[in-house]
A and B are shown apart, each in its own frame.
Chain A
């Protein structure tokens, strides 16, 4: 394997970007575009198992990491408070379309403004809290459908 960087020209729509990649075998692949560094997880391909590029650990899910309120699976689409705190800001309204990783709410807890992100894409069907409201572990903040 060579240690030199790969320089690639990538055209997206009408613009051309110069992408610098350090190690094509790594996963995530570290790509630099216009001074910013991006981590790109490569999906497994048909090649044999030994390629490191076939490994693509799944992205963290804020909802899944929250403590379970019951033994049942958390209601699909419910975004819950990961810890007790005060809602500082609700960033979405009913009807909004959100993508995975979009901020939906800011929770003041442990003297920190904790941004709560959408674990998956969806449409906001309910906003259960308002700014200033205190919430407990597992309280539903927003529901997606």
Chain B
């Protein structure tokens, strides 16, 4: 009779083989590619010793094309749950050493199982992606597995945070799983994402392009906006995932985790008083403003290098998590365009889904004029901003620092789209348009008839500025709630946030809205 000791030894030996392979083949090939193994990645992501694996022994049940020779326990994905900074998350990590991490029927079932657990338990899901794509040998079984995953990603959307960490290739239809999740973190050098690869592109459109040029972290972090974060290496990618999660609640029914405040709530930085130049044609760096208002060092930018004329990200105010949305006058004058509209709207909707209050810092000359923008659909893209703000029921607070003109004033968290409190700095200009443009329209006849049109124009511009170049006209009629000395902004925002802490806004019963996409 076999004794217990042998039974347990057998299990432990099997575990060891699953972990490393017979001769280290689950680890070494990855190191040779300059990548970590699927389990090393989990070790970096999770608190030490917290990983609880499930389905480690699953084998695929397909045959043909040599598949019956390649039944490897786990079938190319390590799945389970663990803790990040003491909070439980569900995770799966694709193993590139098993048939290229190709997505199979069984891999799909394993991933679906942890997502279902995450949904029932109300905990975030983190997918670590390193795979060649669908397992071709399995045909429709592989495709069905992807469909199950995409369906679950959609069901989970707005219920628990979903994060995709890209540490290898992700091509073809498989890109839609990360594409459906809340945040994509790409790693420089080793991750690429594209729907069709260089060979197909060349055959169809005759464009020559290599994998990196087509879908690197750099491209998706700057041009396409597919990647919300870009990490220099895997270590950074997992550190960033941990940092991101520190701002997020585990599910939609929880509040984001507050921390013990480390910064003085009464800190009033007087450099804010002079940070906005009085010359409206001069720019300044909105990051300098953010840094001085929110808890020191707490700002985590999202889409940091994409559509940089807008800034979005998480920060803390007296320990409370907030979502920051700001225009950036130092880039493209802080104009709103197609990409910045998408960036802002998507961030607002995430924050609203997960109870993160919104703080908006406004200084924008308006929407970007031009045929390219109009034909690119700035109407439907720009509409996303106003839709997202209007739909959001979390506390909404806005500060108008300088320019708030026309449609851009309305969409950027104005009072009427139910922003709870709208503040303005003394430099605020709230008008249908800038002074020069307005004067050209309002006084076209007078300017044409004038002996000295330039002097006449300047006179009218001065008159216009007197009325609309200060916030008092808007404040006199309650369009803004209060005018602040800039250095008061931090304590005023903290107090406003405290007021709105238990805000409950009713929404009309409906199936779901129809955001312009």
Question: CB distance A114 to B243 under 8 Å?
Answer: no
Whether, in the assembled complex, B481 has its beta carbon less than 8 Å from a beta carbon of chain A, the answer is: no
Question: CB distance A22 to B297 under 8 Å?
Answer: yes
Stretch at the interface among A8-16, A24-32, A121-129: A24-32
23 A–B pairs (Cβ distance < 8 Å), ordered by A = A26-B297, A27-B297, A28-B297, A30-B296, A49-B44, A50-B47, A55-B239, A55-B240, A57-B229, A57-B230, A58-B232, A62-B308, A64-B218, A65-B222, A65-B306, A65-B331, A71-B213, A82-B332, A84-B370, A108-B281, A111-B434, A112-B283, A114-B333
Whether, in the assembled complex, B323 has its beta carbon less than 8 Å from a beta carbon of chain A, the answer is: no
Contact (A54, B434) CB under 8 Å given A27-B297, A68-B223:
no
Whether, in the assembled complex, B236 has its beta carbon less than 8 Å from a beta carbon of chain A, the answer is: yes
Contact with B along A97-125 (1 / 0, CB 8 A): 00000000000111111110000000000
Closest to A35 in B: B271
Whether, in the assembled complex, A37 has its beta carbon less than 8 Å from a beta carbon of chain B, the answer is: yes
Contact of A50 among B188, B239, B291 (CB under 8 A): B239
A residues touching B (Cβ–Cβ < 8 Å)? Answer: 1, 3, 22-23, 26-30, 37, 39, 44, 48-52, 54-58, 60-62, 64-65, 67-68, 71-73, 82-84, 108-115, 137
Question: CB distance B301 to A30 under 8 Å?
Answer: no
Closest to B305 in A: A60
| Distance, CA A103 to CA B48, complexed state (A) | 46
| Distance, CA A56 to CA B207, complexed state (A) | 35
Q: Which residues from B are CB-within-8-Å of A115?
A: 283, 330
Contact with A along B202-213 (1 / 0, CB 8 A): 000001010001
Contact with A along B326-338 (1 / 0, CB 8 A): 0001111111000
| Distance, CA A61 to CA B331, complexed state (A) | 11
Question: CB distance B365 to A111 under 8 Å?
Answer: yes
Question: CB distance B282 to A30 under 8 Å?
Answer: no
Question: CB distance B239 to A52 under 8 Å?
Answer: yes
Q: Which residues from B are CB-within-8-Å of A49?
A: 44-45, 235, 238-239, 242
Size of the B side of the interface (Cβ < 8 Å), in residues, is: 57
Other A-B pairs, 16, CB within 8 Å; known A50-B239, A72-B209: A23-B296, A28-B297, A29-B297, A37-B292, A39-B287, A48-B44, A49-B238, A52-B239, A55-B236, A55-B243, A58-B304, A65-B305, A71-B213, A82-B332, A83-B368, A112-B280
A-contacting residues, B422-468, CB 8 Å = 434, 436
- The smallest C-beta distance from B360 to any residue of chain A, in angstroms, reads 20
- The smallest C-beta distance from B381 to any residue of chain A, in angstroms, reads 14
Question: CB distance A111 to B333 under 8 Å?
Answer: yes
Question: CB distance B333 to A44 under 8 Å?
Answer: no
Whether, in the assembled complex, B262 has its beta carbon less than 8 Å from a beta carbon of chain A, the answer is: yes
Question: CB distance A71 to B207 under 8 Å?
Answer: yes
Contact with A along B281-316 (1 / 0, CB 8 A): 111000100011000111001001111100000000
| Distance, CA A61 to CA B436, complexed state (A) | 32
| Distance, CA A77 to CA B45, complexed state (A) | 37
Question: CB distance B280 to A111 under 8 Å?
Answer: yes
User: Most chain-A Cβ atoms within 10 A of its Cβ — which of B45, B231, B297, B306?
Assistant: B297
| Distance, CA A10 to CA B208, complexed state (A) | 52
User: Most chain-A Cβ atoms within 10 A of its Cβ — which of B222, B332, B372?
Assistant: B332
Whether, in the assembled complex, B482 has its beta carbon less than 8 Å from a beta carbon of chain A, the answer is: no
Question: CB distance A112 to B365 under 8 Å?
Answer: yes
Contact with A along B26-48 (1 / 0, CB 8 A): 00000000000000000011011
| Distance, CA A37 to CA B289, complexed state (A) | 12
Contact of B332 among A27, A56, A108, A109 (CB under 8 A): A109
- The smallest C-beta distance from B260 to any residue of chain A, in angstroms, reads 8
List 9 A-B pairs, minimum CB-CB distance, nearest first. A26-B297, A112-B333, A110-B333, A49-B44, A64-B222, A54-B239, A30-B296, A49-B238, A110-B365
Question: CB distance B365 to A60 under 8 Å?
Answer: no
| Distance, CA A71 to CA B207, complexed state (A) | 8
Whether, in the assembled complex, B148 has its beta carbon less than 8 Å from a beta carbon of chain A, the answer is: no
Q: Which residues from A are CB-within-8-Å of B242?
A: 49-50, 52
| Distance, CA A72 to CA B205, complexed state (A) | 13
Closest to B280 in A: A111
Q: Which residues from A are CB-within-8-Å of B188?
A: 58
Q: Which residues from A are CB-within-8-Å of B282?
A: 112-113
- The smallest C-beta distance from B183 to any residue of chain A, in angstroms, reads 13
Contact of A113 among B231, B238, B283 (CB under 8 A): B283
Question: CB distance B308 to A60 under 8 Å?
Answer: yes
Whether, in the assembled complex, B263 has its beta carbon less than 8 Å from a beta carbon of chain A, the answer is: yes
| Distance, CA A51 to CA B243, complexed state (A) | 9
Contact with A along B80-123 (1 / 0, CB 8 A): 00000100000000000000000000000000000000000000
